[in-house]
Every structure is written in structure tokens, then in C-alpha cells.
Amino acid sequence: MQSEMIRDDFAFFNHSDLVYLDSASTTQKPKSVLEAMDAYNTQYCANIHRSSHGLGNAATSKYETAREIIGKFLHVGDKSEIIFTKGVTEGINLVAQSYAKEHASCVIISALEHHSNILPWQQIKKPLHVIQTKENLTPDLEHFESLLAQNPNALVALIHTSNAFGITHPIKEMIALAHRYGAKVLIDAAQSASHMPINISDLDADFLVISGHKLYGPTGIGALYIKKDLHPLCNPYQVGGGAIMQVFYDHTEYLPIPYMYESGTPNIAGAIGFGAAIEYLQSVGYAYIAKHEQNIIAYALEQLSQIEDILFYTQVASMQSNISFNISNIHHHDLGILLDKQKVQVRVGHHCVQPTMRFLGIDGTVRVSVGIYTNKADIDQFIKALKRSIAMLKG
Amino acid sequence: MQEKLENYIEELSLFDDIMDKYEYIIDLGKRAPSLRENEKIDEYKIQGCQSSVWIIKELREGKLYFKTDSDTVIVRGLARILGDIFAAHLPQEILNFDTKELEKLGLQEIISPVRLNGFTSMINKIYQYAKDENRG
Ligand SMILES: Cc1ncc(COP(=O)(O)O)c(C=O)c1O
């Protein structure tokens, strides 16, 4: 069965008897990613874009190939639109400081944003407008439109799939609406990219961010897409060696994007591992991924729905890739501790969306998230452990 | 303190299955008296825990007693154990007690050590109360 073959690609499952249901936090890494990083470190370790010897050229070429792989993966027109970052958080900070600070009048966000898509805008002291939600946490598009109408030159910054509640925003429609009012749009695809294909040309996003470690790649590496047309408007961010054409004591001429934003020695092994992770994902294919994960989520939801006093915060059918819930009168931390003792790794707490939790009048949930390696046995063990935990805590 | 601690260590050691140990702590948590809502204020709250924990001191005839509560039942049970171990002792006795001894309970891991260790924070709060009393 393909799912067992996929599981074999991940060394973690050979070493561990834990049930890993926290892939939304970070995914396990397949052997091919580890091997690609190992090859860089052991066979052609050299700095890139600097050392013109053969070894340096080999490293540069692999690093740039990774950029190409990621560019194609996201369907971008030109690989210079892909900037390597540390991850989504750094990508959003970069857009805030280098673009939004000067060119955005305010920032419009959804009510489901991760703290990483709130704090960077506070840092540049831009007014934040939050799109109201309708029942089940879906965005109120009429309210969104009224915000766009009232706020010319806004930057819209939207989470694609919610890390805390598993629902996916209709971003294509929201991007088109924002563009009609002249706003630019940043998409936080941290959670969606591992579960569904992202086609930037089709979506017409202006900025888009992803993290390697949520895509079966290493930690400390991510990518930021900036639409070519906007490159002339983007200012230098963290500056230094590697980003320049010519330096004088009184001024500097910078290289074009992406190099302007990749000063200092980057995470070379990380970028190469990231490229390998994307190749791995593509070898599995989204057709399989979507079908498999939807099956697993549906299987989990079917059993969860039968549990007495379970509370969901969005429509059951709209939860993709992760499921968030509480059991009434039981604290999520108690469930987290008991599940952990039964070898089930889930995340409990506010999931970095405190304003959303406050809106719902709760301080956290239990979140179960799946990846391409999750199987029904994982869900069975989780449900069994959950039932036992509830029985211990009730009454 | 030593005697009560040893009682708890003995009781907890009876459980072969870790889940039974938790059952015991949960049971203590469920039976422990709750604080009133107006007692759950920041002054009594333990900083650095993922869940909310409050410890209030009471002084009777020079000896310290502790009222404890938490929004999670497991931590409530744990706070109850600590409060009980230190109850009815002079502040100086508490300060003389070697906290390393408490590690023998094997409960440090219960409050997840994300960022700050909640178990240590609770003990620190009790020590702080003892220090305050000692100073007068
Ligand atoms: C939706 C979303 N945005 C942003 C982030 C931050 O990503 P990173 O920690 O990789 O920078 C996360 C990760 O938890 C996320 O789920």
C-alpha cells in the first residue's frame, strides 16, 4: 500500500512508537531531504555566490536549483521572484519593513491570523483592520469589501488555511476583490502548501510565504514570493555582504531581488534540503496527498463527532488537514498531558492565535493535524487514548 | 515535610502503570477545595505556567498553610500535593527544606517544561511566601 511505503520514507517512524499528530507545527523529514543536506555538508560544502572555485560553483548551482524547484512548485513566472528566508515569520517581517512601511496605508487581516501575521504590522505602526467572521469562522466578504472601499492603498494579509481551525479562506476570490480596490495581497501559505497545490500565477498573489519545515523540509528555511512588478518598490532589509553590486563609504548599489534580500551566508544546506523536500512532495503528488489526507481527516471526524460533549468551532465539513476541538468542562491542557502519556502527540493551547481564541471566549483547544504519513492506526490510537482521558477527567 | 513527602512518594510508587498515577493525581485534584473567583488574582498566580495556578498562603500561630487551585485538574492535584507537604510548618522550616527532595515524587514532568518549569515555579512561590514571613 502506498501509505505504508510513504511511512517508510521517514526514519522517525522506524525509531519511534509515538503517534505523531502535530504535523501542522512541523512535519517529519523524509530520508531524501536528510541525504541531500548530508551530501552538501560532506561532499561539496562551500560558500555560495562568492567562491569561484569548483566546489563553490557546485554549491551555488545546487542552491540556485533549489530556488528553481520552489519557483516551479509555486508556479511563479521567474525564479528571481523567490527569496530564501528563515521561514514564514521572517518573510512577513521582510514585507512589513521593506514594502508595507512605505507603501501601505494600513493592513487588512482576517480574524484567524497567526501571531506572525499580526506582530510585524504592529512593528511598523500601521493601522490593522480585521475582517469580521460569520458563523463558523468564515470571513464576511461584504465586510471585507467595505474595508477595502474605506482604505485605499491597503495591504491585505491573509492566512490561507488556518493553523488553529483547519478552514481554508477563498483566497482567489479575496485576492481578486482586493485588486479591484487597488490593494496588494500577501498570502500566508504556511499551512496550505503541504496539502494542496499553490499556483501563484493563477491566484495572482502579490506576496506569498511558506516555511520549509511544514513541507517535509528542514527548519530555519522558507521562501517569500514577491511579484516582479513590485520589486522596484521594495527597499533593502537586512543588509550586508552578498547583497551588493558596489559599496562605497557613502552609498551602496544593491543587487536585484532576490540577492538584495539574501545578505550574509544563507542556510545553504537548508535551501538544498528544502528543494529536496519539494521534489519529494511532488513525487508523491497532490492527487494522492489530498485523497489520503481527506480520508484520514474524515475518519477522525467521524469518530470524534460521536464523542459526547465535543465542541467544534467551525463546520465539521470545512476542517482540512487539522481538527480543533474541546470537550466541555475539561481543560485542553489536561487532555494534552494524558494524551502525551499515552504516546499521542497533539498540540494543546492557543496555537499562536490568541485574538481568535479571545473572540471565541476560550483560551485554547486540542489540535490534531495530519501529514502524508498519518494512517488510520494513528487515529485509532488517538481516539482510544482520548476516550480514556475523558473518562479519567470527567465527573 | 519529610514525613508527608515520603507518604506521597510511597503512594505514588504503588502504581506500575503511569496512567494509574495520573488517575490518583486527578482524583486529588477533583477533591481539592476550590478557591473563590475573587481569590484568583494575579498576586497569587504562578507566572510561567501554561495553565493558570494560584497559591494563597495563610498564617496560623506562626505556621504557614496553603490554599491552591488551577484551571486544569491535573495541576490542581499537583498543587494540592505541594501545598499539603509544606502545610503547618514554620517559614524557617520551609526555607531549610531541600527542594531537591521533591524531585523524588517524579512529578516535575507533569507541567510541561515549555519555556519555564511550572513545578519549580510553584515551589518558588511557596518559598517566596516563607521568605516574606521570615522577614516579618
Ligand atoms: C499559519 C501560520 N503562519 C505562520 C507560521 C509561522 O511559521 P514559522 O514558525 O515557520 O515562521 C505558522 C507556524 O506555526 C503558521 O501555521
Which residues are within 8 A (CB) of A118 and not within 5 positions of it... i.e. 6 or more apart?
A109, A128, A355
Provide, as residue numbers in chain B, all residues whose Cβ is less than 8 Å from the Cβ of A331. 51, 71-73
Cβ-based contacts under 8 A for chains A and B? 35
Mean pLDDT to the nearest integer, A168-182: 98
- Taking the C-alpha atoms of residue A58 and residue A46, their distance in angstroms, rounded to an integer, is 8
For A286-329, write each residue's pLDDT tens digit. 999 999 999 999 999 999 999 999 999 999 888 988 999 999 99
Report which residue type is found at A10: F
Using a pLDDT cut of 70, give the percent of chain A over it. 100
Interface of chain A toward chain B, CB-CB under 8 angstroms:
331, 333-334, 336-338, 341-342, 349, 388, 392-393, 395
Give the pLDDT band (50/70/90) at residue A54: confident
Query: What is the residue-averaged pLDDT of chain A?
Result: 96
Mean pLDDT to the nearest integer, A49-62: 88
Which residues are within 8 A (CB) of A75 and not within 5 positions of it... i.e. 6 or more apart?
A198, A199, A200, A201, A202
CB contact under 8 A, B71 and A331: yes
Helices (H), chain A: 2-8, 11-15, 31-43, 54-73, 88-95, 101-103, 119-123, 141-150, 171-180, 200-203, 268-284, 286-305, 332-341, 354-360, 376-393
Mean pLDDT to the nearest integer, B67-83: 93
Question: From the alpha carbon of A116, which atom of ligand 1 is closest?
Answer: 4
Task: Measure the CA angle with vertex A145, ends A140 and A151; round to 5°.
Answer: 125
Nearest-Cα residue of chain A relative to residue B71: A331
Q: What is the pLDDT of residue B110?
A: 66
Q: What is the pLDDT of residue A317?
A: 85
Which of helix, strand or coil describes residue B67?
A: strand
Mean pLDDT to the nearest integer, B39-47: 89
Mean pLDDT to the nearest integer, A163-172: 96
With respect to CATH, is domain A3-21+285-394 assigned 3.90.1150.10?
yes
Q: Is the pLDDT of residue B118 over 80?
A: no
Listed range (A140-144, A153-157, A323-327, B98-102) with the worst mean pLDDT: B98-102
* ipTM score of complex: 0.89
For A237-291, write each residue's pLDDT tens digit. 999 988 899 999 999 999 999 999 999 999 999 999 999 999 999 999 999 999 9
Q: What is the pLDDT of residue A242?
A: 85
- CA-closest candidate to residue B126, choices B69, B81, B77, B66: B66
Distances (CA, A) of A347 to A350, A352, B54: 9, 11, 24
Q: Enumerate the domain spans of chain A.
A: 3-21+285-394, 32-283
Backbone angles phi, psi at B127, to 5 degrees: -65, -40
Question: From the alpha carbon of A352, which atom of ligand 1 is closest?
Answer: 14
Q: Is the pLDDT of residue A357 over 50?
A: yes
Task: Measure the CA angle with vertex A157, ends A110 and A271; round to 5°.
Answer: 125
Residues in chain B: 136
C-alpha cell at B70: 488551577
Q: Is the pLDDT of residue B117 over 80?
A: no
Mean pLDDT to the nearest integer, A160-172: 96
**Domains, chain B, ordered by start:** 2-135 (3.90.1010.10)
Which residues are within 8 A (CB) of A194 and not within 5 positions of it... i.e. 6 or more apart?
A23, A27, A214, A215, A216, A281, A289, A321, A371, A372
Q: What is the pLDDT of residue B115?
A: 43
Task: Determine whether the shortest distance from the Cβ of A191 to ligand 1 is under 6 A.
Answer: yes
Which residues are within 8 A (CB) of A215 and not within 5 positions of it... i.e. 6 or more apart?
A27, A193, A194, A274, A277, A278, A281
Task: Measure the CA angle with vertex A70, ends A231 and A180; round to 5°.
Answer: 45
Q: What is the CATH number of domain A32-283?
A: 3.40.640.10
Q: Is the pLDDT of residue B114 over 60?
A: no
- Taking the C-alpha atoms of residue A23 and residue A166, their distance in angstroms, rounded to an integer, is 12
Which residues are within 8 A (CB) of A380 and not within 5 positions of it... i.e. 6 or more apart?
none
Q: Is the pLDDT of residue A212 over 90?
A: yes
Task: Determine whether the shortest distance from the Cβ of A321 to ligand 1 is under 6 A.
Answer: no
Q: Is the pLDDT of residue A380 over 80?
A: yes
Which residues are within 8 A (CB) of A358 and not within 5 positions of it... i.e. 6 or more apart?
none
Q: Is the pLDDT of residue B128 over 50?
A: yes
Q: What is the DSSP letter of A224?
A: E
- Taking the C-alpha atoms of residue A258 and residue A271, their distance in angstroms, rounded to an integer, is 14
- Taking the C-alpha atoms of residue A211 and residue A194, their distance in angstroms, rounded to an integer, is 10
Q: What is the pLDDT of residue A1?
A: 65
CB contact under 8 A, B22 and A341: yes
- CA-closest candidate to residue A347, choices A113, A22, A17, A18: A22
Chain A touched by B30 (CB under 8 Å):
yes
Using a pLDDT cut of 90, give the percent of chain A over it. 93
Helices (H), A78-227: 88-95, 101-103, 119-123, 141-150, 171-180, 200-203
β-pairing, A365-369 vs A322-327, is: antiparallel
Give the pLDDT band (50/70/90) at residue A395: confident
Listed range (A44-48, A58-62, B114-118) with the worst mean pLDDT: B114-118
Listed range (A194-198, A296-300, B43-47) with the worst mean pLDDT: B43-47
Mean pLDDT to the nearest integer, B52-70: 94
Beta bridge partners of A316: none
Q: Which of B19, B21, B23, B109 is most worth mutating to test chain A (most A CB atoms within 10 A of its CB)? A: B19
Give the pLDDT band (50/70/90) at residue B111: low
Mean pLDDT to the nearest integer, A12-21: 95
Mean pLDDT to the nearest integer, A72-95: 97
Distances (CA, A) of B19 to A308, A343, B22, B25: 22, 11, 5, 10
Q: What is the pLDDT of residue A320?
A: 87
- Taking the C-alpha atoms of residue A13 and residue A29, their distance in angstroms, rounded to an integer, is 10
Q: What is the pLDDT of residue B48?
A: 66
CB contact under 8 A, A333 and B50: yes
Backbone angles phi, psi at B56, to 5 degrees: -115, 135
CA of A38 to the centre of ligand 1 (A): 26
Element (H, E) at A211: strand A207-211
Residues in chain A: 395
Task: Determine whether the shortest distance from the Cβ of A192 to ligand 1 is under 6 A.
Answer: no
Mean pLDDT to the nearest integer, A382-388: 98
CB B122 within 8 A of CB B76: no
First to last CA, chain B: 22
Listed range (A32-46, A346-360, B116-130) with the worst mean pLDDT: B116-130
Identify whether B49 is a catalytic site residue: yes
